[in-house]
Every structure is written in structure tokens, then in C-alpha cells.
Chains A and B, each alone.
Chain A
Amino acid sequence: MMDFGTPVLEPGSANGTKQVPQFNPYQDNGGTVASIAGDDYVIVAADTRFTLGYSIPTRKISRVLKINDKVMLGTAGMQADTCALHKVISTRMRMYEHDNNKRMTFNAVSQMLSTVLYYKRFFPYYTFNIVAGLDDKGEGWVCGYDAIGSFEQRKIVCNGAGTKLMQPVFDNQVDWAQSWDGAGKPNLSLEQATDLMKDAFTSAAEREITVGDTLQIYKITKDGIQLEEFELKKD
């Protein structure tokens, strides 16, 4: 009978297993994306710093994809995968429009992204996404994803390198998580949300070296999408 159990020892190797240099197809290019959703708006923010180890090869890359004038996608993680993912989402979105003769709703986009990510479950896109948009009633929402497509719909999400620094602030300031029954929870206006976003990123840029350069804030309202750029620390 054939024995499959005994490992073949590679001659000349220390512990009997062959050491093969492996190509690592992944890379972390930093970046943070965050979104705050309100009753009639949602804002998507992302920094433009592109890092490679301790280097900053360029200070101006986009991490955000406009899907239509009600929905946007923000992606942190590996730039090449981000680029590929954005291409896939763009084509899928266009095909959806041709097939259904209407724009993709926030719900449709959020479900599709999950499927697209999970399709590569065993060779994932190294990306951390948020999908932000207005629903049919015009209310703002945002979905946060992990790399393989599990997601959750919330009012506030941040993803990527600065998450650990920023999420607690948002939990406290937006979700009112410290309150058991939510009494006294504020209802942020678009301006307040924008200011909070700026503060959160400015603070993250203080301690997280992969956050910095420029903050792009996209404001989605019933009137369309507006971009505001806000300068962060460059060091």
C-alpha cells in the first residue's frame, strides 16, 4: 500500500522542509476612508497619501470611486487591488444600467460589492471598503466591509489604516455609544459632520504615519456630489 503520510526530507536543509522563497502578491499602501451619514446627506472622506513602507512615492492618489450621483465607494488597502476592484465595479455598474435601464440603488451597490469581494474569497482583494449613498427615501447610509465581503450597514463607518484612532471618536460623537438608551444623541448637520471628519483625520494624521497629505471630502446630497479638499500634515 502506498504511504502518503511520510514527508520527503529535502537533503541539505536544516529541518527537513524545503525553504522556497515565496512571492508575496500583497502590499499595504495605507490610506483611510470614512463616512458619516445623516438624515438627508452622507459624506465620504479619504486621504490621498500613498505609502510603501516608510516611503511616500506620491502624495496624490484617489481612493474614491463615484458610482452615480447618489452612491460612492471608498477603498483603503492595496492600490493595485483597489484599482482592479474599481474597474470591476465600474463595469458591473454599467452593465447593470444597460440591463435594467436604471441607476444602481445604494442597496444594489452594497450587495454587489459584497459578492464581488467574496468571489475572490481564496485570493482576496486586499481592500477595505465603504459604500456610502442615499437610499430611495433620500436618507444617508453607509456600509463597511472587510476584505472578503462581509458587511454591515450603519450611520458611521471608517476603514483602513487610521481606523483604530478614528472609530472610537465617531462611536462617541456620532453613534452616542456611551449612552445606554441613546438619550441626548445629537443629529449632526452636514457642516458639523464635515468638521468632525476634518478633526478626526487631522488627529489621526498626528499619530498614524500613513495618514496625511490631502483629505478629500465628498458630500452627497439630493443636489448631487460636491468635493471639498482639506490639507493635512505633509510630514
Chain B
Amino acid sequence: MFGGQDSKQHTVQPYVTGTSVIGLKCADGVVLGADTLVSYGSLAKNRKTSRLMTVSNHCSLGFSGEYSDFQEIKSTLEELMISEYCMADNIPMQPRAIHQYLARVMYEARNKQDPLYNQLVIGGVLPATGEGYLGLVDLLGTNYESEMIATGYGTYIALPLLRKAYRPDITVAEGRKVIEDCLRVLYYRDARSIDTVQISTVTKEGAETTEPFKLETSWDFKKFKAGSRLIDESTW
């Protein structure tokens, strides 16, 4: 090979990462939840990093995956919201538009073989009706809307729980509890998670993200205890 070196480096593997984000669409809005840990491999690098952001009055965003790539996305979004502010046209940017925008950004990046290594969950309300909106975009540009969304380990652990808990008439107040429960279960089983979490609720009244708070946990379950065996109690 002649001069054999790559002229440009691309992200091919995430380094500093956040784990699952989960979201549930409700009758009167949407709830997002995520813990506040960013990991460097198996190292808990930062235990109090917010993985949720409020994009606008009626839109929130959560990420899992590479933290630096998310920071890049975050600043482009902030730029977008400032130009939106300067328009001063009284036409708020809808969550769907923000979702589509991010989908285009992510897809273009993957087309350049230089992906933004994230899964993004967009939660919002349609300002006109107050109906919830929940969508996902990933590093390949995959994008869809759904009543319940989970990324990472959440796909395996939280998504079934969310599907079970979902009703078309579920309220944000109820949804918040479901999300909290899911985060707790994730904390029990996902080794790259932490018990400090944030929850973001978006309703017609506005988007609000809580300060990081500790989940109440219990480790007294019989099956968590050393020496307990499944077969002792199994009916199988």
C-alpha cells in the first residue's frame, strides 16, 4: 500500500455512553425517563450527567449512546431553537418537526459513514390538541413513532413492561409512576445503570424535567439473595 493511512477518523464505536432511555405516550402528554450515568466502558465516569434535555416548551429529548455526539446534537438543537425564537412568528416548532429534523441529521451522518452514535427519544405534545407525541431516531436514521419506546437494555427489560402498562387513556401522572418502576427494574438488572434518575413530563402546560433524584430500591427479594435457587420454588 502506498501512503497507507486513513485521512479521516470516524466514530466506529462509542466510548463514553449512556444506557437506556424510556418513554411512554399518555392521553394528556408524554413521559420520558433516564438515569444520570455516563460510563466509560465498565467505569462509572460521571454519576450525575443529565441525559434528558428540554428542547422547547412542548418538547423533550433523551439520549442513549455516545455522550460527545449527543453534546453535538444538543448544540445544533439549541441553535435551531434560537433561530426559531428569532423568527418570532408565533408558530411553535412541533415535536414531529424536531423528530424529523433529527432523523435527517442522523441519516446524513450515517451516509457519510460518520454516524452520531446515539439513540434519541423525542417526547412532546402537539400544541393544538395537547395530544402526546413520542418518537425515536437512531444512529442509522431509523425513525418511528410509537406509544412506548425504550432504547438499549430497555428494549428487552422495559418495553414489555411499558406495553403491559399502556392504555390509550393513561394519564401523565400514572405514566410517571410506570416510568419510575421501569427505571427501577432497569437499575436492578442493567449493570451500566444507576439509581439516580430524571423524569421529563411534557403536557400542554409545558415541558418539565425533574432534578436528578434517587430511586427507592429494595434488595430483600428472595431471589436476589445469595444461595437462593430458582428450582427451590419453581412450579415448572
Contact = CB atoms under 8 A, between A and B. Distances in A.
Contacts of A57: 136, 144, 146, 149-150, 155, 159
What class of interface size applies to chain A in its complex with B? 20 to 34
B217 interface: no
Interface in A73-88: 78-80, 83-84
Contacts of A78: 140, 142
Chain A interface, >50% SS class: loop
Contacts of A58: 144, 146, 149
Contact of B113 (A25, A29, A60, A80): A25
Given A8-B4, A23-B10, A23-B12, A79 B142 contact: yes
Given A21-B12, A21-B13, A84 B141 contact: yes
Contacts of B142: 27, 29, 78-80
A123 interface: yes
What is the interface of chain B mostly: helix, strand, loop, or mixed? loop
B1 A61 contact: no
Contact of A83 (B2, B10, B141): B141
Interface string B109-150: 011011100000000000000000000101011111010011
A88 to B, nearest CB: 12
A22 interface: yes
B79 to A, nearest CB: 23
A26 B110 CA distance: 9
B111 A83 contact: no
A18 to B, nearest CB: 8
Contacts of B172: none
Nearest to B136: A57
A79 B12 contact: no
A13 to B, nearest CB: 13
B85 interface: no
Contacts of B10: 23
B141 A80 contact: yes
A2 B115 CA distance: 37
A122 interface: no
Interface string B1-40: 1101010001111000000000000000000000000000
Nearest to A3: B2
B103 interface: yes
Contacts of A83: 103, 107, 141, 143
A198 B28 CA distance: 36
7 contacts: A8-B1, A23-B113, A23-B115, A25-B140, A57-B150, A78-B142, A84-B141
Interface of A: 2, 4, 7-8, 20-23, 25-27, 29, 50, 52, 55, 57-58, 60-61, 78-80, 83-84, 123
Given A2-B2, A57-B136, 5 more contacts: A25-B113, A57-B144, A57-B149, A58-B149, A80-B103
